[in-house]
Amino acid sequence: MKICSISNGYFPYIRGGGEIYVQDIAETINNNGEYDFFNISISPVEKNYDSPEIVNGTRVYRLKPINLFNKYIGYKNNVLYESLWKILTILDFVTLFKVNKIIRKEEPDLIHLNAFSFFSPFLLLFLCNRPVIYTIHGRNFNNKKFPKIINKAYNSFQSFLFSNI
């Protein structure tokens, strides 16, 4: 069985526990030898997106999102920048094309999604017809730094996505 993990980052580009969790699962599965596990993640650099690098036995495809801000540049404490970043990530069809190309090349049997910062692949899920596991990592669904209308819209969008998976 081949498993594709899509995450916000992968070693050494780690900003939180979700990235460590994905790396731990990848290395455990790949070291066992029974399954083939690879990762697609956001990175501050992108060399050749369709040629993975090997990190501790795991194939890692690193994609640099096409938007104004990515998680490695930062948007801390700025609601406007973070909101723009999320909207532009949803509309990042260049990254969507790259993820689609990797998935068609690798042909995974299962897709494991991690966190919310990498939205474009969600759109792909409606087209790829593969089983999906989704793991939420450290997301505050009622973030007090955002106006209630933004939280409500964000949560409604997520509910719509996951009601169809």
DSSP-derived letter for residue 76 is T
pLDDT at 69 over 60: no
CB contact burial 120-154 (16+ within 10 A = b; e otherwise): bbbbbbeeeeeebebeebeeeeeeeebeeeebeeb
Instruction: CATH number of the domain at 144, please.
Output: 3.40.50.2000
34 — pLDDT class (breaks 50, 70, 90): confident
- Domain, as residue range, for 117: 2-163
The pTM assigned to this predicted structure is 0.74
Tokens found for residue 121: 């692949």
Could you give the number of structural domains in the chain?
1
